[in-house]
Amino acid sequence: MFEVAEAGHKLRASVYKRRAPRVRERLLELQYQLLGKAQFPVLILAHGVEGGGRSETANLLNAWMDPRHIRTHAFGGDEGAPPGKPALWRFWQALPPKGHIGIFVGSWYSEPIERRAWHGMDDDALERSLERIRHFERMLAAEGALILKLWFHLSRKAQDARLDALASDKATAWRVTREQRHQNRHYKRFITAAEAALRETSTAEAPWEIIDGSDDEYRNLAAATLLRDALEARLAGKRPRTAPPPPPPAPPIDRRTLLTSLDYSRRIDDETYDAKLAKYQGQVARRMRSRASAKRPVVVVFEGMDAAGKGSTIRRITGALDARQYRVVPVAAPTDEELAQPYLWRFWRHLPAPGRMAIFDRSWYGRVLVERVEGLVAEADWMRAYHEINDFEDQLVQCGVRVVKFWLAITPAEQLRRFRAREKTPWKRYKITPEDWRNRRKWPAYERAVNDMIERTSTEIAPWHVVATDQKKLARVEVLKALAHALKG
């Protein structure tokens, strides 16, 4: 697939001199349009063989446009993520906000290509890795990102010549690194690995563009022109078509649902409660301090109808822990930095370190619950969220995170009782707002959303624990028991 880029592309100096200023000027205009609208981010991935001009192109784009609105990051394939963080974590942290341009010299492709070339990554592992990348890029595209993937190519011979020329001049010899020499010696292995990766990841929403890197001016103008054209098309409103997400399942025809089928009448007495609470709190405390737990982050998710007791249940967990071990993350209105990023970004930033627990009081499931029911996002957006969420949780579990999810269920009658009680207690009044009453009237819509959510996202690796909370004490014990179990081993 790289042959086309070995045809010895070259621009006459006069052609470059005539065309470059026009492209440059236009790029700058487009950058300001992008910034003014701030509707989507631009992500440029610069990859290729050593000497092909990735860094040089990043420098060129910074010189041709206003560098204050460009974020350039470089990633090597050998760095990996911090302990307990998924491989994509580094890239999430570096994503450009809407209106800005991000240039990634190296990216999520560096690791699979380098591991395939140098460390014998097998077909299955490569395919899994590329599948994850396709999901990630599809999500970015669906969130609006304009993705430009550039591969700067040199034939083996051209690479030889370029490295030799640099090395022979005392003033530039320092530019030739050991890594470059190594890649040059094993050129074929590298190219074969790259080809496999590129072929499988050239998608409608994020195709690869291969650029001959042997002539600087050709390379510069080719990259700049591709960016100009992509920006023009996108600013004119053209978006790539992406595969539509599957619709949610039809509601059951007998109106019986997971939520209605729960037994809400179970109770425990106070004595049993005290004993069991202490027992499971002790288990949670000990297991969080075990040697195995020191290596693993824990993510606990609480979702539930209003007044189902999220707050008081969370306090029974935190009461069993040292304050250093946990962090409660209440999910409130997003900040402007969060709004300028893909939906899941604001949850990635709160992932816990190994040995620590992050307790999410509401979570990424808001998209398929409140945002779906209230019509805050388009149908296509909440429908694709199931898949994105499963993918997110799968990444967490793959890198050792324990993911424990609780749905706190309540009957409408018990909710009503608690709402009324809240209105009567001075320090609980803040917990009851007109919005709560409004949500209550939409009970059937929420119930359907919850059922769909559980059906779609209760996975082998991250199942939902659905807990009836009509008696709060029983619910607390069940939550702590499930959590203690999840922390085992």
**Under the rule (CB under 8 A), what is the footprint of its own copies?**
21, 24-25, 28, 32, 54-55, 58-59, 62-64, 66-69, 72-76, 105-106, 171-175, 177, 274-275, 278-279, 281-282, 285-286, 311, 315, 318-319, 322-325, 327-328, 330, 332, 335-337, 361, 426-427, 430
User: Quick check: 76 and 110 in contact, CB under 8 A?
Assistant: yes
Q: How far is the CB of 57 from its own copies (least distance, A)?
A: 10
Residue 144 vs 319, nearer CB to its own copies: 319
Nearer to its own copies, 142 or 299 (CB): 299
CA nearest neighbour of 19 among 214, 152, 218, 210: 218
Strands 208-212 and 101-105: unpaired
Residue 29 CA to residue 35 CA, distance in Å, equals: 10
Between 70 and 222, name the residue whose CB sits nearer to its own copies.
Answer: 70
SS3 call for 470: coil
Smaller CB distance to its own copies: residue 50 or 452? 50
In whole angstroms, the minimum distance from the beta carbon of 336 to its own copies comes to 5
Which residue, 246 or 319, has its beta carbon nearer to its own copies? Answer: 319
* Closer to its own copies by Cβ: residue 14 or 335: 335
Tell the smallest beta-carbon distance from residue 401 to its own copies (Å).
20
DSSP code string of 335-366: PHHHHTS-TTHHHHTTPPPTT-EEEEES-GGG
Residue 105's DSSP bridge partners are 46, 74
User: Which C-beta is closer to its own copies: that of 219 or that of 384?
Assistant: 219
CB of 448: closest distance to its own copies in angstroms?
Answer: 27
CB of 61 to its own copies, least distance (A): 11
CB 196, min distance to its own copies, A: 24
| Closest distance of CB 430 from its own copies, Å | 6
Strand order in the sheet with 146-153: 70-74, 101-105, 42-48, 146-153, 208-212
Listing DSSP states for 102-122 in one string gives: EEEES-TTHHHHHHHHHS---
DSSP 3-state helix, strand, coil percentages of the chain (rounded to 5)?
A: 55, 10, 35
What are the phi and psi torsion angles at 472 (to 5°)?
-60, -40
Give the angle 27-146-61 at the CA atoms, nearest 5°.
35
CA pair distance 360, 305, nearest whole angstrom: 15
